[in-house]
Structure 1
Amino acid sequence: MRSCLILLMAFVPIFTFAQDEFLYGTFPDGFMWGAATAAYQVEGGWDADGKGESIWDRMVHSDPGSILNQDTGDIAADSYHKYAEDVAALKETGVDFYRFSLSWSRLLPTGRVDVVNEAGVAFYNALIDALLANGVQPMVTLYHWDLPQPLEDQGGWLNETLIVPAFAEYAAFAFEAFGDRVKLWLTLNEPWVQAVMGYGNGGNAPRVVGSGITDYLSGLNQLKAHAEAWHVYNEQFRPTQAGQCAITLDVVWMEPKTQLALDIEAAERSLQFKLGWFAHPIFSLEGDYPASMKEAVARHSAEEGYPESRLPEMGEEWRLRILGTSDFFGLNHYTTSLVEHSVWPGTGTSFDRDQDTTQSADPAWPESSLGWLKVVPWGFRKALNWIKSEYGDVPVWITENGYADLGELQDLDRISFYRAYIDEVLKAVVLDGCNVVGYTAWSILDNFEWTQGYSQKFGLYQVDFNDPSRPRTRKESAIAYAQIISDNGFPQP
């Protein structure tokens, strides 16, 4: 049946590139280089100096078995006390900017602006001032999955009337407190992960299970909250602060497993369910969810007996309110999947089932220490070209890209990863005309890798989590990345 279908290549962009040739060359003048962390993963000080409880604090304490080795972020890399050493590492690496997130609970313990933790404000002021004093520009993420628990107790990202105004208030508070020095803002980090893993399959905090229903609702509320925060910045703060405000989305490149029409369509559909779900409402010309996603969820909903689609309607007012609410495209990318069309057997409601796809990996792809992170550099270039094809010449900041291992100082595989992936970005810029303006390595430090605890290391600097003083040690990859930054790419040897 599959082979009888008409090929649809004319309707789905297929990117074919030479995948083995290394391109020597440099990025355009002004290209920005950075490194990143997230608050819960590095700060520690989980209840220090008036900080409130977040959903990740609640998860690791109430259900320690949910984290490998029962690890917690209670101390993590202790950046709350050792931020000056982090800044020194950033300066030593030669980055132009540091992407970090604010802990909403550290600033506003209840999640609302009626209770302000001045110690939290002082901490971020000190960090921002230290960065600027060392020639490093702050790029600040407002939300990296650590919702204040008091807001979750009232429904969290499922409660629109609570969370949308609460996030807008929090954003305004942050813009007011730090926007005189912060010129690059990100509202949400990877809302797909918060929706699907936090409010769908229950793997991440706050561990809500309701795949195919609650994940879609939380996704829409995140889009609304993001839009409101952007409008707050655009109308109230941009005129005097002259910064930029955007969102960061994550993409796994979806490569058709075969050149059959069904698999080509399936790969495109997976991209729309992964990236398009949040990118299309913001960056497309018309807004709203991707058409293929709307069709698939509506069809499955009808088959399952629902009176209407489980994908909640955005509505015309919100479609227009969300459309265009990002000054650039923040992109996180790590790996690639092979995708084939697959009708799931049995019955049930789920986000995965809605897509009618199965994902796999080529056994020839090199592996990291994390099972999902296969090393497939050429997928990066294809993803960047897809964004250009889908959304036009929007400026792209790569806000995360990195490699997991078990913590070796002589981390040659990480060096190979960075060289290969950054070179694919270079090809996308120089050969394909993709408008990529910055690149961020994940991460400057080894940190708490969510449900994997401290078993997985992404850092350019090693952190000894067995030592109470949490010493940092420079890895070989930090030296290699510093050289790439200094060279602005890969000059001809």
Structure 2
Amino acid sequence: MPLPRRLPALPPSEVPSKSKVVWETFSHQSSFQRQSYHYGTFPEDFSWGVSSSAYQIEGGWNADGKGIWDKFAHTPLRVGNSDNGDIACDSYNKVDEDVEVLKKLKVSHYRFSVSWPRVLPDGTNKYINEDGLNYYHRLLDALKAANIKPQITLYHWDLPLELQKVGGWENETIVQRFRDYAEVLFSRLGDKVKFWITLNEPYIVANLGYGYGTFAPGVVNKQYNAAHNLIKAHAEAWHLYNEKYRATQSGVISITINSDWAEPRNPYKQEDVDAARRYLQFFIGWFAHPIFRGDYPEIMKTTIRERSLAAGLAKSRLPEFTPEEIARINGTHDYFGLNHYTTVLAYPYDLGNRQDYEGDRGTRQTSDRTWIGSGSFWLKITPFGFRRLLKFIKEEYGNPSVYVTENGISERGVVDLNDVFRVHYYETYINQGLKARLLDGVDLKAYTAWSLMDNFEWAAGFAEQFGLFFVNRSDPNLPRSPKNSALRYASIIKCNGFPDPALGPHECLIPDDGGNINLKMSKAMLSPKFWAFFVLFLFLAFVCCCFFFF
């Protein structure tokens, strides 16, 4: 049976797709409308935070069990500059310092992850490492004393090495192992935690870890099996919390899904419009659809099945959920956790008989040459896409409460504490979030910046720096120093958004770093005395002009 040269038509029930509707709605905006600033503030209960993850900051690799990244980072040619997370930011020994940094930001919450191998060294609950748990107790107690609410991610990519030896996320037994691990955390930490995230970016775990093999554990072309078990593991952890712990702990639990926003490279070509839609369904839909709508997107099921059969396989390479599994997975969410960074322009690309994710999706992506780049090849500054993705989630998934759990930008090379581009990124992206909340009716509940400090960025090592705080790695004490973006983010938090300057000067917009002469001058400009002299100066200038001309 020859491979179809054309991808199957979109199912009638999905036309027009929500992504097309959102794109067409905003495509009528002028450049001025798209980039214009919107003044206003978020609701009083809006939560502001910053993110990190265990392997990226903790260090202490010899203190407890080993994970897949411990092995991967010590494998030659896997990580840039042969970097590793053995010490990272040494947060395992710097709880008090990290909390002091958080207090400077004035955040409402701090999102961090628990290291599975630190707590359960062999991945099972046969032995619980109390020293590992005590580290998280110390952190939770310090956060409580600082009036900062914790948001805990159960799994942020550091799978116990012993579990990978038996297949990791390819092996269906991991679903029960993850449930057991979740129970340890719920039972031992749950009285101090009200906000849980089961998995961080399962798309990356499946596609980069078990598809392309560029992330740990370095497995190739097994992403669909890994994704299937990730989704089922999430559902089991959600049901465990819902049935056994929610009543007494009164928390919420869901999953964090990452996604770009995608638009057609050529808006006048239907094939590009379809490619943008496929890009989104194979990205955000891969994990959001089963959890919010009950099953994989129809375009994924149809495409992968037809391409698999055309290649001579007996069944689809995309595993199927049973009716019982669909019923158990559907609705396992208390909110929509979203990580977002950038936007792409999609177009169709035929890879022939290639039996993998890229061949199935049948798209490539590019960017507009006017978009500003970053320290990551894939990340362009495209704030308009943030609003559009939020609007898409509202329309596609029934207007869930959205918690942005990561958003940020990287740099490379020598760090400049005056990181103007990062200030611009946060201002424009957060402002687009404000538009989504106030103008589009998106139920946006929280915003979380990535990341707290420059840390180990996976296969890029320490070369890509996302931090609001600079970590001086040439100093053995690894001191944390605020960048200007940290000061600006703190001022946005203090203002709860962007107060309208037409209503008068707002001191909350000026960061308080105690030493920047420009900021001191800005504060002086907010004083009543300054404005009195300024008005008097304008009046005298007006009188002089009148005398001169008349």
What TM-score does the superposition give when structure 2 sets the normalisation length? 0.86
Within the candidate set 159, 176, 190, 1:165 is matched to 176
Within the candidate set 31, 50, 59, 1:44 is matched to 59
Distance 2:22 2:406 in 1: 25
Alpha-carbon displacement from aligned partner over 1:111-161 (angstroms, at most 9, x marks no partner)? 11111111001000000000010010000000000000000001110000x
Percent of matched pairs sharing the same residue: 48
Tell me whether 1:394 sits opposite 2:400 in the alignment.
yes
| Structure 2: gaps (5+ residues) | 502-550
Within the candidate set 176, 179, 183, 2:187 is matched to 176
Alpha-carbon displacement from aligned partner over 1:53-78 (angstroms, at most 9, x marks no partner)? 100001112x1321110000000000
Matches within 5 A, 1:22-61: 22-48=37-63, 51-61=64-74
The residue aligned with 1:453 is 461
The residue aligned with 1:335 is 342
Over 6 Å off, 4+ runs? 5-9
Q: Which secondary structure does the structure 2 equivalent of 1:340 belong to? A: strand
The residue aligned with 1:188 is 199
| Structure 1: gaps (5+ residues) | none
Distance 2:380 2:490 in 1: 24
Within the candidate set 471, 479, 486, 1:463 is matched to 471
Q: Which secondary structure does the structure 2 equivalent of 1:14 belong to? A: helix
Q: Which amino acid aligns with 1:400?
A: E
Q: Is the 8 A contact 1:9 1:264 kept in 2?
A: no
Moved more, 12-21 or 290-299: 12-21
Within the candidate set 344, 347, 362, 2:368 is matched to 362
Distance 1:195 1:13 in 2: 29
Q: Which secondary structure does the structure 2 equivalent of 1:224 belong to? A: helix
Distance 1:243 1:396 in 2: 16
The residue aligned with 2:322 is 315
Distance 2:171 2:419 in 1: 44
Q: Which amino acid aligns with 2:368?
A: D
Matches within 5 A, 1:193-232: 193-210=204-221, 214-232=222-240
Shift in Å, 1:9: 6.9
Shift in Å, 1:305: 1.2
Matches within 5 A, 1:6-25: 10-11=16-17, 12-15=20-23, 16=26, 17=29, 18-25=33-40
Shift in Å, 1:344: 2.0
Matches within 5 A, 1:217-296: 217-259=225-267, 260-284=269-293, 287-296=294-303
C-alpha RMSD over aligned residues: 1.6
Tell me whether 1:437 sits opposite 2:471 in the alignment.
no
Distance 1:19 1:397 in 2: 23
The count of aligned residue pairs is 481
Q: Which amino acid aligns with 1:381?
A: R
Q: Which amino acid aligns with 2:274?
A: E
Distance 2:399 2:223 in 1: 30
Q: Is the 8 A contact 1:55 1:152 kept in 2?
A: yes
Distance 1:78 1:391 in 2: 40
Shift in Å, 1:356: 1.3
Q: Is the 8 A contact 1:76 1:465 kept in 2?
A: no
Alpha-carbon displacement from aligned partner over 1:146-192 (angstroms, at most 9, x marks no partner)? 000000001110000x2000000000100011110100000000000
Q: Which amino acid aligns with 2:180?
A: E
Q: Is the 8 A contact 2:403 2:446 kept in 1?
A: yes
Shift in Å, 1:241: 0.2
Distance 1:468 1:105 in 2: 26
Tell me whether 1:385 sits opposite 2:391 in the alignment.
yes
Shift in Å, 1:342: 2.2
Alpha-carbon spacing, 1:84–1:263, altered in 2? closer, same or farther (3 Å): same
Alpha-carbon displacement from aligned partner over 1:93-122 (angstroms, at most 9, x marks no partner)? 000000000000110101111111110010
Within the candidate set 410, 415, 419, 2:427 is matched to 419
Q: Which amino acid aligns with 2:271?
A: L
Distance 1:236 1:295 in 2: 38
Q: Which amino acid aligns with 1:52?
A: G
Q: Which amino acid aligns with 1:282?
A: I
Q: Which amino acid aligns with 1:79?
A: S
Within the candidate set 76, 80, 87, 1:68 is matched to 80
Distance 2:234 2:388 in 1: 27
Shift in Å, 1:252: 0.5
Tell me whether 1:127 sits opposite 2:127 in the alignment.
no
Distance 1:130 1:357 in 2: 47
Distance 1:483 1:298 in 2: 51
Distance 1:75 1:68 in 2: 16
Distance 2:105 2:332 in 1: 33
Tell me whether 1:143 sits opposite 2:170 in the alignment.
no
